[in-house]
Each structure stands twice: as C-alpha cells, then as structure tokens.
Structure 1
C-alpha cells in the first residue's frame, strides 16, 4: 500500500497546529510541515485550498480540512 502525502500547513505559536502535529506523531503518521509565515508559496496554497486560517491538513486524494480534527485524523491511521 502506498503512503499518501500529508501536508500540515502551520504557523508559529498556533495551538491547534501543535495539537495536530503532536496527534499525528503520537499515531506514528508521517507528514510534511509547510509554515505559512516562512513561505509565501505555502500561504498561497492555503488560500487556493479555500482556507484563511491554519492548521490546514491536505492529504493526497482527499479533501483538505482545517482545525484540530481528531475525528478526521483518525481516518489516516
């Protein structure tokens, strides 16, 4: 089974971002972080996905979602 790419769009001092990353780590799920403060490209990607706040979680082949959503994150395990 091929592992899908998971991207967590984040920013510094974002509690929901930190909760999301910790939750994924605790479940042993690998992911890539794109910081919208460090990368204008990442910020534009978030806007293109239709969101104005982070965290935004983008999973290859699935609809992106935002916020700390354990119910949706559990579906990745």
Structure 2
C-alpha cells in the first residue's frame, strides 16, 4: 500500500459514499472521512474543488475525483 493520506468527503444516506468507503475498507486502505453534514468547512472544501456531488476522494499523487470509481480507488492500493 502506498504511504498516502486519503480523505473521503461523504454524507449519510449516500449510496456511492457507502460503496466507496466499504471498498476502501475491504482493500485495507486507511482513509479519513469528512461528513459534510457534520463539518461545515468540508462543504466549502468540496465546493472550492469544483465538485457538486459526493463522494469526493482526494489523495496525494492522484487527481481528486467524485463518485464510486473502483478503477481510481485501486490506484490507492
């Protein structure tokens, strides 16, 4: 596994967010979750990156992306 910091911006009741987090967990890839319903600053961070849908995944060495994208998540392993 790469030594990188991964942040997943998500919210409750978001199926793609749940799929993304479960995928990372199943692969043993550690990540930090930022719940936009609980963290007002996280909402601003997502908007500044130009995203309007969740989840948003950011990690060192790859371009930030949104949605459940296994092909991108595999690059984090």
Considering the TM-score relative to the shorter chain, is it more than 0.5? yes
TM bucket (normalised to shorter chain) is: over 0.9
**Closer/same/farther in 2, CA of residues 71 and 34 from structure 1, 3 Å limit:** same
Tell me the matched-pair count.
77
Alpha carbons of 1:48 and 1:15: their partners in 2 closer, same or farther (altered >3 Å)? same
| Large movers: runs of 4+ above 6 Å | none
| TM-score (normalizing by structure 1) | 0.94
TM-score (norm 2): 0.94
Please provide the CA RMSD for this pair: 1.3
* Cα deviations by residue, 1:10-42 (Å, 9 ceiling, x for unpaired): 001000000000000000000000001111100
Gaps of 5+ in 1: none
Structure 2 alignment gaps of length 5 or more: none
